[in-house]
Structure 1
Amino acid sequence: MYRVWNFINNYSLLLIAGALIALIWANVAHDSYKAFHDLVLIEDFFIGHLHDGHRTLTLHYLVNDVLMALFFAIAAKEVWEAVILKNGSLRGKKAATPLVATVGGMVGPISVYLGLAAIFGSTTFNAVANGWAIPTATDIAFSYLIGRIVFGAGHPAVRFLLLLAIADDAAGLIILAVFYPSGALAPVWLLLSAGAAIAVYVLANWLPRRMDRGDQLRRNSTWVREKLSFWPYALAGCLSWYGFQQSGLHPALGLLPIVPTIPHCERAFGIFAEAEKYLTDLLNKMEHALQVPVQIVLFFFGLLNAGVELSSIGDATWLVLAGLIIGKPAGVLFFGWLAAGPMGLGLPAGMRTVDLFVIGCVAAIGFTVSLFIATVAFDAGPVQDAAKMGALFSFAAAVISIIAGRVTGVQKQDA
């Protein structure tokens, strides 16, 4: 079993702290929290967002649209390795059933969310329909932590859960890019992102290796790595981010085209594998160097996005919560059973069909990505606040998962 505790410790504890501070602050001194949330850093900033006729750089924009790109880059790195590299976790038949279950883990929440919204009436449906993707998310770190409590570290269901969660995040990145643009679409700007990715791959990766053919000392590649280090990729990342920003796609996804261009190891060791800390390839070194900065970014993300007054609970709260807590387990169970049984893909040895339901309950913890999608799905206001509250309340899935494990007779297996 791969060890993910370091990932949880690195990327979640400060996030929780930020979210709790924000929740308390917003309910005790809402005006001062609002002033902090809307803090203007630079007036008339040429990269900032349009606000009241002036381009301004606010603290919220800096964190959500600029710095969160680092978090999504790390998530994309794990997804990319799982799909592309030898022994990748999302390659081959071993990943087939989790991938089908992932589809169910998205179809179920969307169906419940939109179905209940329609039942609530056309007024509610029109107000909340754009938030359909909020309950599709799964928070990898927290889900893993609860999954280990429910199943034990050595249970095959925990590995299944990790595969499902990472595939879910991959789908979430696609949804963010396609369905939640940050402004009017101008696809021609994506040529800047594509050009930056191609240029840095050719000049800083492919060309030095090609020039080193037959040279056991690999002089060119060594020179590029020692003298230029990560700087060519940092420059390409800035250009790619700006391309996304100008194209109308959410700029927090702007580093995704650059991740595959960075020199990497030849094989995957697993999702957030402990072995990666011993690797010397540039991609893993960059990930390790970003750990502390991303911890700080996630603290401010929680601080700036979880500050919701308890009085803001509304229809969107219950729809997000129902999508996660009802739709996610139902979807994972049905599609997982469909893959394992009628489709003949099977389940990992030691897993029961009923374990799929428990996995779905664990995967219903949306939190980080659900909170992020809520901020881009709705304009600031009561509906957005209500949807955020649903994302925060998804922690209730942890208690439900533990109960579901007891009721279904899950036998914990230690590593």
Structure 2
Amino acid sequence: MYRVWNFITGYSILLISGAIIALIWANLDLIAPVAGNSHYWADLYHDFVEFVIWHDAPIGHLHDDGHGHVVRDLTLHYLVNDVLMALFFAIAAKEVWEAVILKNGSLRGKKAATPLVATAGGMFGPIAVYLGLAYFLGSDTYDAVANGWAIPTATDIAFSYLVGRLVFGAGHPAVRFLLLLAIADDAAGLLILAIFYPSGDLAPVWLLLSLFASVGVFVVFNWLPRRLDRGDQVRRRSTWVRQTLSFWPYLLAACASWYGFMMSGLHPALGLLPIVPTIPHADRAFGLFSAAEEHLHDLLNQIEHALKYPVEIILGLFGLMNAGVAFSAMGDATWLVLAGLLIGKPVGIFLFGWVAVVLLRLGLPQGMRMVDLVVIGFVAAIGFTVSLFVASVAFEPGAVQDAAKMGALFSFAAAAVAIVAGQVTRVQKQEL
């Protein structure tokens, strides 16, 4: 994530705008029906989303062309969800990488222990509620929705941060706790997507392309110049590589890695993850959303800042491509996703947080109360972006996927619940 407030607001406005436009468009048949075609606007929306940019392309959705040949079509939906969203997940991976590897990383040391344990609760709790209620509804329902178990595990870091500031105030230690939890949640979410939601038949040999691309670009353009510059205070070779070649070697490696993921059957939106750790980065972290990040001039931060506005636009397109669900699509998956988020998240975070604080004696940040964990749980229940993404890969297009997406959209209700919970538990807002 970026460390500046205007990115968060930009992210929110564009993403929400895209989602609202999609929702209105997909439900226009209720407002302005067309005589003789009760699904005119909905069909128009789906035709737009699945518009074929390039037939029989080297990348895209695999399908039978009707003549016995399997071809790939590059559709608008594939371009946004599978190609462009790779940049969004690369930014998330950058956060996780810095939090883990850097000396002052937020997920290193005892300070991260309780948030990490609470994160586990924020994932196991929603899974237990989602699958438990699905099982209670009967085997037919369970079989239909079981593959969506990961949808309510997600936490939308940007929206949670916004609501966390509203509830606790920007200076409250609970806000930092929430951000640590959300970053760890992102890391777990990336692993879940990679392991449990392949985009096709697995062909692991193609991952060698991603491996060679990441190792090759690291050795040749990162490790070797630094190795040759040992004893040279001017660092001529490293400087020449950075100034002359800039990000181009990493862009080419990223394209190769993405293609390897696509051909391997893993979701290609995760294809840039192996490249992120290979890019030269700063040797310290200033903290989540710290304005000091703007003054770091390592290549990794330069790339991140250059992607700021493109990723905002991509997220707006993502909302437009994925949130077009008819209100009539609400079903069992809708309520299961909501229950997983609104019940499983706060209960899981509180219970695991209690274990960390009381049984493991890991402690809470100074100024936080145990009851604040419940409020944090409600704030973290805003799944939105990643929940929408997981819903789109967990189910085939159809009624169940649409119902699950509606649950992800309705998770915004967690913001109102969190505000009320903050009032009930008498949270004392602390501003900077």
TM-score grouping bracket, smaller chain normalisation: over 0.9
* Match status 1:340 vs 2:357: yes
**What is the CA distance between 1:35 and its match in structure 2?**
1.1
After superposition, the C-alpha distances for 1:135-155 in whole angstroms (9 at most, x for unaligned) are 000000100110111111111
Contact 2:3 2:293 in 1 (8 A): no
**What is the CA distance between 1:273 and its match in structure 2?**
2.3
> Match of 2:47?
35
| Alignment map for 1:14-163 (pairs within 5 Å) | 14-28=14-28, 29-53=41-65, 54-163=71-180
> Match of 1:235?
252
**What is the CA distance between 1:4 and its match in structure 2?**
5.0
Q: Measure, in 1, the Cα distance between the counterparts of 2:3 and 2:283.
A: 20
Instruction: State the SS of the aligned residue for 2:359.
Output: coil
**What is the CA distance between 1:52 and its match in structure 2?**
3.2
Q: Measure, in 2, the Cα distance between the counterparts of 1:351 and 1:301.
A: 36
TM-score normalised by structure 2 residue count:
0.95
**What is the CA distance between 1:3 and its match in structure 2?**
5.5
> Match of 1:299?
316
> Match of 1:406?
423
Q: Measure, in 2, the Cα distance between the counterparts of 1:399 and 1:296.
A: 27
Q: Counterpart amino acid of 1:12?
A: S
4+ residue segments displaced more than 4 Å:
none
Q: Counterpart amino acid of 1:395?
A: F
**What is the CA distance between 1:6 and its match in structure 2?**
3.0
**What is the CA distance between 1:9 and its match in structure 2?**
2.2
After superposition, the C-alpha distances for 1:83-123 in whole angstroms (9 at most, x for unaligned) are 11011000000000000000000000000000000010000
Q: Measure, in 2, the Cα distance between the counterparts of 1:41 and 1:186.
A: 26
After superposition, the C-alpha distances for 1:23-61 in whole angstroms (9 at most, x for unaligned) are 000111212111101100001002222123332100000
After superposition, the C-alpha distances for 1:324-347 in whole angstroms (9 at most, x for unaligned) are 000000000000011011111010
TM-score normalised by structure 1 residue count:
0.98
**What is the CA distance between 1:227 and its match in structure 2?**
1.1
Contact 2:371 2:425 in 1 (8 A): yes
> Match of 1:216?
233
> Match of 1:280?
297
| Alignment map for 1:186-225 (pairs within 5 Å) | 186-225=203-242
Q: Measure, in 2, the Cα distance between the counterparts of 1:137 and 1:263.
A: 29
Q: Measure, in 2, the Cα distance between the counterparts of 1:147 and 1:300.
A: 26
Stretches of structure 2 that go unaligned for 5 or more consecutive residues are 29-40, 66-70
Q: Measure, in 2, the Cα distance between the counterparts of 1:199 and 1:129.
A: 40
Instruction: State the SS of the aligned residue for 1:41.
Output: strand
Q: Measure, in 1, the Cα distance between the counterparts of 2:368 and 2:286.
A: 23
Contact 1:10 1:291 in 2 (8 A): no
Contact 2:119 2:184 in 1 (8 A): yes
How many residues are matched? 414
Instruction: State the SS of the aligned residue for 1:265.
Output: coil
Q: Measure, in 2, the Cα distance between the counterparts of 1:32 and 1:78.
A: 38
Q: CA RMSD in A?
A: 1.0
> Match of 2:412?
395
Q: Measure, in 2, the Cα distance between the counterparts of 1:398 and 1:52.
A: 44
Q: Measure, in 2, the Cα distance between the counterparts of 1:365 and 1:238.
A: 32
Contact 2:4 2:291 in 1 (8 A): yes
Contact 2:7 2:308 in 1 (8 A): no
Stretches of structure 1 that go unaligned for 5 or more consecutive residues are none
Q: Measure, in 2, the Cα distance between the counterparts of 1:51 and 1:14.
A: 32
Q: Measure, in 2, the Cα distance between the counterparts of 1:314 and 1:163.
A: 33
> Match of 1:7?
7
**What is the CA distance between 1:271 and its match in structure 2?**
2.0
Identity among equivalent positions (%) equals 75
Instruction: State the SS of the aligned residue for 2:74.
Output: strand
Q: Counterpart amino acid of 2:47?
A: A
- In structure 2, relative to structure 1, the CA distance for the partners of 1:169 and 1:350 (3 Å cut) is same
Instruction: State the SS of the aligned residue for 1:196.
Output: helix
Contact 1:4 1:144 in 2 (8 A): no
Q: Measure, in 1, the Cα distance between the counterparts of 2:423 and 2:371.
A: 12
Q: Measure, in 1, the Cα distance between the counterparts of 2:80 and 2:404.
A: 20
Moved more, 30-39 or 330-339: 30-39
> Match of 1:378?
395
Q: Counterpart amino acid of 2:302?
A: K
